[in-house]
Amino acid sequence: MKIIAFFTSIMLVILNFFGMTGSNATGHDDYRTYKNVILMIGDGMGFNTIEATKKLKTDDLSMEKMPVHCQSQTRSASSKVTDSAAGATALACGVRTYNGAIGVYNFAGLSVKNNVPKSLCEVAKEKAKLAGIVTTDKTSGATPACFSAHAAQRKLEKAISTRQMQSDLDLIWGSASESVTEALCNEGGFDMITTSEEMNSLEPGSKSFGQFNMDSFANVTDEGDNPYLYEMTEKAIELLDSGDNGFFLMVEAAHIDKFSHKNIIDGSTSQVVEFSKAIQTALDFAEKDGDTLVLVTADHETGGIQYDEAKDEYYYTTTRHTGVNVPVFVSAKDAGFVSGEAYKNCELSVQLARVLGWDENVFPATKF
């Protein structure tokens, strides 16, 4: 027993070191609980991505109107610069892990089966809430995968898609993944939808897997039968709000990151504008509902955007991710987040869990 106690103590030290425990994550106990939470992730969206958007596109951005402005420290357990997988695992599961990991702990040698923290979506379903994912990335992409599956590496897309079908989520919508077929969807109890018309025809109680056109998501002027991010957000909220116990929804704007990797500033800023429309959709619902919290953040910054005062222009310094802090916007002042504070990325999801009424014995799951 002494050996077990010693091992447990060592494990807790390790978990605390990597930011993997979740008790009183923000350090503020004065918060109210909410029935619904909408977490919105601008993949690759840094502070200067927003500033560039304000200069080049519009200064009327929904996230900046939210009352709480703070920031997130994005490092992973294995690097000062996170990738999307480790960044999303922190936001989905409340733990920091190695780059490339999809919803698993930072312990090499443990099987995925025994190395799995629960995601906010999974705990929501355990608590009889509805849960869904909306993204402009492939449904097997790193961010949606971390909220709906578990895998040792993000490149295991076939395994990720299979595990998503085994999830109890109510909806998973995004760009088409090569590893998703209608037969696989049907096997998992999902109806596969591929058009705006099919999406809009969905009724409460349905279970759907969206496989839309990624090229249309990248082209914000597209007029084909493909939904915009704000339209997917609106419909997802409508469907998830049909339950008695509330819901959790994750919304990702993935192409901010994709354009930033290519250093196409017109593309990345256009995608921030599209993301802002989806955020406004969520905020409009939250204001009307009165029991919904919206949190907007990023998994990391991409491109190292800087401002040249002499030339009066923004420019990229890299095609990769950077390790700078990213913005966090919260729709209410009573959710335990404080303006100006810098939180670990994993602390954001832990506080969202507390806002939903779950304690540290439920989320994050740190027991093996």
Q: Is residue 12 part of a domain?
A: no
CB 354 within 8 A of CB 11: no
pLDDT of residue 114: 63
What whole-number distance in Å separates Cα of residue 336 and Cα of residue 352? Answer: 9
Distances (CA, A) of 173 to 14, 202, 225, 349, 357: 36, 13, 15, 21, 27
Higher pLDDT, 180 or 5: 180
Residue 82: exposed, middle, or buried by beta-carbon count in 10 A (0-12, 13-18, 19+)? buried
Sign of CA dihedral 328, 227, 135, 168: positive
Beta pairing class for 247-253 and 36-42: parallel
Q: Is residue 129 part of a domain?
A: yes
Q: What is the mean pLDDT of residues 276-304?
A: 98
Distances (CA, A) of 80 to 55, 270, 296: 30, 28, 22
Q: Is residue 361 part of a domain?
A: no
> What is the chain's length?
368
Domain boundaries, position 196: 35-355
Q: What is the mean pLDDT of residues 207-217?
A: 89
Higher pLDDT, 292 or 219: 292
3-state secondary structure the chain: CHHHHHHHHHHHHHHHHCCCCCCCCCCCCCCCCCCEEEEEEECECCHHHHHHHHHHCCCCCHHHHCCEEEEEECCCCCCCCCCHHHHHHHHHHCCCCCCCCECCCCCCCCCHHHCCCCCHHHHHHHCCCEEEEEEEEECCCHHHHHHHCCECCCCCHHHHHHHHHCCCCCEEEEECCCCCCHHHHHHCCCEEECCHHHHHCCCCCCCEEEEECHHHHHCCCCCCCCCCHHHHHHHHHHHHCCCCCCEEEEEEECHHHHHHHCCCHHHHHHHHHHHHHHHHHHHHHHHHHCCEEEEEECCCEECCCEEECCCCEEECCCCCEECCCEEEEECCCCCCCCCCCEEEHHHHHHHHHHHCCCCCCCCCCCCC
> pLDDT tens digit string along 140-176?
999 999 999 999 999 999 999 999 999 999 999 999 9
Q: Is residue 23 part of a domain?
A: no
Query: Measured over all CA atoms, what is the biggest interatomic distance in the chain, rounded to whole angstroms?
Result: 67
Structure tokens at 97: 């892990």
Q: Is residue 363 part of a domain?
A: no
Q: What is the CATH number of the domain that holds 196?
A: 3.40.720.10
> pLDDT tens digit string along 246-278?
999 999 999 999 999 999 999 999 999 999 999
pLDDT of residue 219: 79
What whole-number distance in Å separates Cα of residue 171 and Cα of residue 254? Answer: 18
3-12, 104-113, 274-283, range with the lowest pLDDT: 3-12
Given the structure tokens 């939180």, which residue do they identify? 343
Q: What is the mean pLDDT of residues 18-33?
A: 59
Q: Is residue 299 part of a domain?
A: yes
Q: Is residue 145 part of a domain?
A: yes
Higher pLDDT, 4 or 111: 111
pTM given for the model: 0.92
Statement: residue 130 has pLDDT above 50 = yes
Q: Is residue 287 part of a domain?
A: yes
pLDDT grade for 366, boundaries at 50, 70 and 90? low
Residue 290: exposed, middle, or buried by beta-carbon count in 10 A (0-12, 13-18, 19+)? exposed
Distances (CA, A) of 244 to 127, 132, 214, 247, 315: 11, 15, 34, 9, 48
Count of domains for the chain:
1
Q: What is the mean pLDDT of residues 328-335?
A: 98
